Amino acid sequence: MTRLGRTFDWMGPSNDATDEQFGHVVELASIDDADRFDAVLVGEPFDEAVIGRKGAAEGPSALRERLAGTKTHHFDAGPVGSVADLGDVTLGDGEAGDGESNSPSVADLQERVRSVTERVHATDAFPVFLGGDNSMTYPNVAPLLDEGSVGVLNFDAHLDVREVREGVGPTSGTPYRQLYEDGLDAYACVGARHFETSTAYAEFVRERGDEVVTSEEVGDDVVAAVDRALDSMGDVDRVYVSVDLDVLDAAAAPGVSAPTPGGLTTRELFRALRLVGNEDRLAGFEVVECAPPLESGAANLTATAGARAIAHLLSTRPAKGRV
């Protein structure tokens, strides 16, 4: 039985009463209580579909730990609104995706996760999904397609529009091809890296009239890059934002499946997310491909960057009752 299970006790590491951190304000809650909050966190600790190096199953716990120690104040926006943690998606005893014979296929796993994300999207809270590998993007976005037209802004080094191969099934490289096949209306990849995508996949996106904004173009002008991406969404009803942490330069995010040079800086990503966060049609957000075991040392730069990305995006969301 697929459900949400509590896995983290939120505490603010600071002993200073004036240092309000996410660890002080995030509450544990159930889906039934989600409507009371401005935003809700949902963990998806799976990495069965990773094409490269695994480790993203530990992403949700690392993102929570780093977010707990992050202060809630943004200089322009003030403190964030109310946030609840609904826990991690769990599959029940004997069903965890651990590579054993009784583990579900990735396609089955996506459907089971979707049974939870549909319920989360049905609440009044803004959903923030903590990955987990990029295959989880499909069940995170798919429920929105049933409610009207949808566009996705994908901050990523890669386009992730590979075909789902028979006998292989979905991977971390297929979520947007799956969404296209289900009727995705608009797509923009922001931060795409040269020499990381095959010509066939670049042409697949271009032929559909969708947008690719390279990391160089973001570096030249963050505002213009975000404007291009948002303009490409056209008049869709809802916009979903995904951050694959390999969009960052390898120096800023070494703990990902495929770290490479030439990526965005954290400052560029944070500014872009604040610009995107002001979009009225925003319907959900995710941070995926945070793989702490792949980063040496105790700094955990990748999870820290991911947690700050969440904080920046949430700082743009209006609090209930606040004009």
- Reported as a single tens digit per residue, the pLDDT across 183-213 is 999 999 999 999 999 999 999 999 999 999 9
- Classified as helix, coil or strand, 19 is coil
Domain parsing of the chain, residue ranges:
3-146+239-314
Mean pLDDT of 307-315: 97
Mean pLDDT of 152-165: 96
pLDDT at 321 over 70: no
Tell me: the pLDDT tens digits for 99-117?
Answer: 444 678 999 999 999 999 9
Q: Where are the alpha helices (DSSP H) in 150-248?
A: 175-182, 199-207, 215-220, 222-231
pLDDT at 97 over 90: no
How many Cα atoms sit within 13 Å of 90 on the Cβ side?
A: 11
Mean pLDDT of 38-58: 94
Q: What was the pLDDT predicted at 5?
A: 82
What percent of the chain is predicted at pLDDT more than 90? 83
Q: What was the pLDDT predicted at 159?
A: 96
pLDDT at 1 over 80: no
Q: What was the pLDDT predicted at 322?
A: 44
To the nearest whole number, what is the mean pLDDT of the chain?
A: 92
Tell me: the pLDDT tens digits for 253-296?
Answer: 999 999 999 999 999 999 999 999 999 999 999 999 999 999 98
In the numeric block, the tokens 């599959």 are attached to: 91
Q: What was the pLDDT predicted at 319?
A: 78
CATH architecture for segment(s) 3-146+239-314: 3-Layer(aba) Sandwich (3.40)
* Cβ neighbours for 100, distance < 8 A, ≥ 6 positions apart: none
The b-or-e profile of 307-321 (16+ CB within 10 A means b, else e) is bbbbbbbbbbbeeee
- CA 305 vs. chain centroid, Å, equals 12
Tell me: the pLDDT tens digits for 241-257?
Answer: 999 999 999 999 999 99
Q: What was the pLDDT predicted at 93?
A: 54
Decide if 259 contacts 100 (C-beta within 8 A).
no
Burial class (CB in 10 A: 0-12, 13-18, 19+), 190: buried
Query: Closest by alpha carbon to 54, among 148, 142, 132, 141?
Result: 132
In the numeric block, the tokens 């240092």 are attached to: 19
Which residue has better confidence, 161 or 104?
161
Mean pLDDT of 26-45: 96
- What count of other Cβ atoms lies within 10 Å of the Cβ of residue 280? 6
Residue 132 preceded by cis peptide, ω within 30:
yes
